[in-house]
Structure 1
Amino acid sequence: MAGNTFGTAFKVTTFGESHGDSLGAVIDGIPSGIKLDVKKIQDALDRRKPGSTDGKKSSAVTARKEDDKINIISGLFNGFTTGTPLCFVIKNENQHSSDYSELSVKMRPGHADYTYLKKYGFRDYRGGGRSSGRETCARVASGEIARQVINFITKAKTGKNEVTATAYTLKAAGIKCSKINFSEINKNQMRAPDSNAALNMLEKIEELRKNGNSAGGIIECQISNLNAGIGEPVFDKLDAVLAHAMLSIGAVKGIEFGSGFDAADSDGLSNNDPMTVKNSKVNFISNNAGGILGGISNGDKIVFRLAVKPVPSIFIEQQTIEAKINPDSPDDPDKIKFKNAKLKIKGRHDVCLCPRIVPVVEAMTYIVLADMILRS
């Protein structure tokens, strides 16, 4: 299976399956001599785990419990990076593989079951295997490492404030935030910047949960304190690589920067961002570009939004197909036979992925920025 590596100068290769022994990553390209705070890496993993920010059970997320304890096995000595590949492992400890026995032959609508089977002729049906959102634990740990690398480099070079990526649920289950207050993000179960909107989201999500259904939403991310000049034209534009990173997250189906698709209904005068100079510093009066011009950061805040699809694992009977595989005829192009079937999914599943994807979005943002900054 190809396609498990992301990045050029800061290269992350993730490995492992949803119900395998372990997951993890190998990161190549980390400069030597950077002090890593392993506790902060563990804290980042803890943010990704099922549950809420306040310790109460959330209607939005799965009941699966994942300890996600990181074990760094190479690339770190006495707390400092050695410049060699850094590898870490995260053990799987709470699998219920029996929940997926029916899925050995039946394809879940909205999942990668059918496409994996058609591509490889074989698949790990326990939770989706490699296509599971469980894989994102390796991304989150890698993202926190990337964040520490970025801020070590930028502080050493410029002494400026830390580069920060802040993601949050802007909209879920049809309910949209009416304000953006970063201090509220980690105070509610939806990781929304508007606690009142979060309550309304949860009310709607609870209604969907009781009916066996699910919800989608929109995640917004803001990058602050990134210098102008980061990005690699022509094919590796900063927004293009961010888009690649974000669309690699399983449930993300769309992305827009700045004014995004609203720009299609605008005009040049309205959509351009006028520039001024104050105290020898360039400033932008508006930010329709979302902080990126020509694929290169312009020094303004970078803003992008992601469309997250509803969770496909719903507890309502659905029309699907059943596969019969003949393992004794590996060269037979028709070794897999399909027939119509019905399926009602079992197990422990999220109702809305937005709050759990928030730390993944931040992590992938830091991985992109680490790669781009090292390339610069």
Structure 2
Amino acid sequence: MNTFGKLFTLTTFGESHGAAVGGIVDGMPAGITIDTDFIQRELVRRRPGQSHITTDRKEADQVELLSGVFEGKSTGAPIGFLVRNTNHHSKDYDSIRDIFRPSHADYTYYTKYGIRDYRGGGRSSARITLSRVVAGALAKLVLRQQGISIYAYTSQVGDIKLERDYHKYDLSIIESNPVRCPDPLKAIEMEALISQVKHEGDTIGGVISCVIKGCPVGLGEPEFGKLHAQLGAAMLSINAVKGFEYGEGFAGSAWRGSQQNDTFLPTNDSMHHPICNVETNHSGGIQGGISNGEDIYFRVAFKPVATLLMEQQTVTMEGEAITMDVHGRHDPCVLPRAVPIVEAMAAMTILDALLISKTNRL
């Protein structure tokens, strides 16, 4: 399956070392001003080679919008787009043409399809996520008109972590450091750790937190289309993601109900809370699978990048044991560049749910 969404959809195409990566967005509402500078800035946030703690691959990642836009506005037709690959070093992967890299998709892809593109992982490469960022930027342009905003940030690298309560941080300064962390002091520690890990030829994982503000009450379906399930599926579709939790998540499972329950209060905001609001928000803005008008917040766990610049034991495609020594340009930690990807998937999920909610009221 290469298509995401039900009413607002993204179909992606391309490989890491192919001619281009791109997609087709369908269901984009008509009449939306298409801010191409904003879309490009979102791509720059995901772009490789943006700092010393990311891969050294240099790509301009210049997006080309091919259809669905006329005189600066969306027409309601499908929006086709592509980003050309210009700096791929396929020769770096010649040495792993006939071997399976540990914890990569090499073995599973080959077994499933009988063929695989070994150059940078081909279709399984994280480079494909740039299509999500473009579509997510388009979704953000629609959500912006609805007063909905999305903030993702690095909240943990290795064992260096922020407090879980996002209210303690100024989310407006996320872009002020290369780690994309709203705590300047912790950001310095995280950056130093990533640099150390990179120098050792190793990699490290962590957690990205995300906050969605301004969502109306009523997004999500009561049974199999629960909003948190849709968000979870979206996040777990991102390369290297290993876990998703919303609200208090796993930590809240140790609480008592008297601690967990969100008490209802008379509303003081009739626009977003027509009847009542809550004293606390342990539910993470979603109750019964449906948004309740409070901030939606969740956390996404990323594993360490699987490509290590050190010797590892593996097997060839014939099943023979071999020592592998990989060369090339790779991220020591995916989190800084994954922040805009998390935001993009959240934006597409929320817009899709928003469009579905409007059909429920016809």
The TM tier, using the shorter chain, reads over 0.9
CA distance in structure 2 between the aligned counterparts of 1:213 and 1:164, rounded to whole angstroms? 35
Q: Which residue of 2 aligns with 1:332?
A: none
Could you list the runs of 4 or more consecutive aligned residues of structure 1 that deviate by over 4 angstroms after TM superposition?
A: none
Q: Which residue of 1 aligns with 2:286?
A: 292
Q: Which residue of 2 aligns with 1:362?
A: 343
Residue number among 292, 312, 332 corresponding to 2:306 in the alignment: 312
User: Cα offset for 1:51?
Assistant: 4.2
Secondary structure of the structure 2 residue equivalent to 1:338: coil
CA distance in structure 1 between the aligned counterparts of 2:137 and 2:87, rounded to whole angstroms? 24
Q: Which residue of 1 aligns with 2:321?
A: 340
Secondary structure of the structure 2 residue equivalent to 1:127: helix
CA distance in structure 1 between the aligned counterparts of 2:304 and 2:223, rounded to whole angstroms? 34
What do the CA deviations read for 1:71-125 (whole angstroms, capped 9, x no partner)? Answer: 1111111111111111001100000000001121111111111110110010000
Question: Quick check: 1:251–1:309 contact (8 Å CA) kept in 2?
Answer: yes
1:108 and 2:101 matched: yes
User: Cα offset for 1:266?
Assistant: 1.1
What do the CA deviations read for 1:12-65 (whole angstroms, capped 9, x no partner)? Answer: 10110000000111011112222211111111111111244xxxx322x10111
- TM-score, reference length from structure 2: 0.94
CA distance in structure 1 between the aligned counterparts of 2:189 and 2:109, rounded to whole angstroms? 37
CA distance in structure 2 between the aligned counterparts of 1:79 and 1:225, rounded to whole angstroms? 26
Q: Which residue of 1 aligns with 2:220?
A: 231
Residue number among 70, 74, 79 corresponding to 1:81 in the alignment: 74
What do the CA deviations read for 1:283-310 (whole angstroms, capped 9, x no partner)? Answer: 2111111110011100000010011100
1:7 and 2:5 matched: yes
Residue 183 and residue 31 in structure 1: after superposition, are their counterparts in 2 closer, same or farther (change >3 A)?
A: closer
CA distance in structure 2 between the aligned counterparts of 1:50 and 1:89, rounded to whole angstroms? 17
Of all paired residues, the percent bearing the same amino acid is 46
Q: Which residue of 2 aligns with 1:30?
A: 28
- Counterpart of 1:72, as a letter, is L
**Superposed, which structure 2 residues align to 1:197-212 within 5 Å?**
197-212=186-201
Q: Which residue of 2 aligns with 1:257?
A: 246
- Counterpart of 2:302, as a letter, is V
Question: Quick check: 1:62–1:351 contact (8 Å CA) kept in 2?
Answer: yes
CA distance in structure 1 between the aligned counterparts of 2:63 and 2:208, rounded to whole angstroms? 27
Residue 306 and residue 338 in structure 1: after superposition, are their counterparts in 2 closer, same or farther (change >3 A)?
A: same
Question: Quick check: 1:10–1:28 contact (8 Å CA) kept in 2?
Answer: yes
CA distance in structure 2 between the aligned counterparts of 1:15 and 1:194, rounded to whole angstroms? 37
What do the CA deviations read for 1:320-354 (whole angstroms, capped 9, x no partner)? Answer: 1101xxxxxxxxxxxxx321111111100000111
CA distance in structure 2 between the aligned counterparts of 1:126 and 1:51, rounded to whole angstroms? 19
Measured on the aligned residues, the alpha-carbon RMSD in Å equals 1.2
- Counterpart of 1:317, as a letter, is E
- Counterpart of 1:249, as a letter, is I
Secondary structure of the structure 2 residue equivalent to 1:119: helix
Q: Which residue of 1 aligns with 2:360?
A: none
Q: Which residue of 2 aligns with 1:72?
A: 65
Structure 2 unaligned regions, length at least 5: 358-362
Question: Quick check: 2:230–2:349 contact (8 Å CA) kept in 1?
Answer: yes
Question: Quick check: 2:143–2:149 contact (8 Å CA) kept in 1?
Answer: no
Q: Which residue of 1 aligns with 2:156?
A: 171
CA distance in structure 1 between the aligned counterparts of 2:335 and 2:243, rounded to whole angstroms? 14
Question: Quick check: 1:177–1:193 contact (8 Å CA) kept in 2?
Answer: no
CA distance in structure 2 between the aligned counterparts of 1:68 and 1:205, rounded to whole angstroms? 24
Secondary structure of the structure 2 residue equivalent to 1:45: helix
- TM-score, reference length from structure 1: 0.90
What do the CA deviations read for 1:158-207 (whole angstroms, capped 9, x no partner)? Answer: xxxx2011000000021112552213311111000111001111112222
Q: Which residue of 2 aligns with 1:301?
A: 295
Question: Quick check: 2:244–2:300 contact (8 Å CA) kept in 1?
Answer: yes
Residue 96 and residue 51 in structure 1: after superposition, are their counterparts in 2 closer, same or farther (change >3 A)?
A: closer
- Counterpart of 2:14, as a letter, is G
- Counterpart of 2:15, as a letter, is E
Question: Quick check: 1:150–1:373 contact (8 Å CA) kept in 2?
Answer: no
Residue number among 14, 17, 36 corresponding to 1:16 in the alignment: 14
Question: Quick check: 2:160–2:189 contact (8 Å CA) kept in 1?
Answer: yes
User: Cα offset for 1:369?
Assistant: 0.9
User: Cα offset for 1:223?
Assistant: 0.3
1:145 and 2:145 matched: no
1:133 and 2:126 matched: yes
Q: Which residue of 2 aligns with 1:329?
A: none
Q: Count the aligned residue pairs.
A: 348
